[in-house]
Structure 1
């Protein structure tokens, strides 16, 4: 994990390997600690997300996004999500709507994510 300042945002980058992130207590701790530390955005590699995240019927993605919103921490999912977008019209709609908002974004890579931050006003 590394925390850096980018375009007025404090960003916590999670490592690509580690325990899969689910909607349980671990995500609450992760987001709560980030909020307490002044982090604006947590960048989460696709490889860290549990498969339930990509199945909207589990409500995992919505619960994680809600936790972030409640704590004032945006979430950015970094990596290739095309297989899940093509496999589910609902997930594709979720990604498109999320990318229009301020609480969760889906970006292909770190460079694309950082370019997005450059176009947004700082959260705090």
Structure 2
């Protein structure tokens, strides 16, 4: 895993780059949060392909537990991917509600993630 820093004005945003899955469990999410927080980032971009598909099945509670920790530590997150493939009404509602708070963002591209996190 590599952390690529993006600087927009005085804002420092971490983009997670990896050839492998980064979050396969709640513990992985907490480890990532700790790593990012330790390196003095408070905004993170993570690509959907780096997250277990179980994250997008809300019954597993993985998403809720991980995203609650990001909120508690005030670390803003943008997840980049194609979320239209998730047909569940509950995940679509979850994505809509998350995007409305602008603390957790589900976006379609890296430029959109950078724009949302730079505000």
Q: Into which bin does the TM-score normalised by the smaller protein fall?
A: 0.7 to 0.9
TM norm structure 1:
0.84
1:66 partnered with 2:81: no
Aligned to 1:96: 96
Is the partner of 1:66 in helix, strand or coil?
Answer: helix
Contact 1:68 1:74 in 2 (8 A): yes
CA RMSD for the aligned pairs? 1.6
Q: Is there any run of 5+ residues in structure 2 with no aligned partner, and where?
A: none
Structure 2: how far apart are the matches of 1:10 and 1:23? 26
Structure having the higher strand fraction is 2
Superposed, 1:1-124 pairs within 5 Å as: 1-84=3-86, 87-118=87-118, 120=119
How many residue pairs match? The answer is: 117
**Any unmatched runs of 5+ in structure 1?**
none
Residues 51-81 of structure 1: CA deviation (Å, up to 9, x unaligned)? 1111011111111101111222111100111
Structure 1 runs of 4+ aligned residues shifted over 4 Å read: none
Deviation at 1:9, TM superposition (A): 2.6
Change (3 A) 1:24 1:116: closer
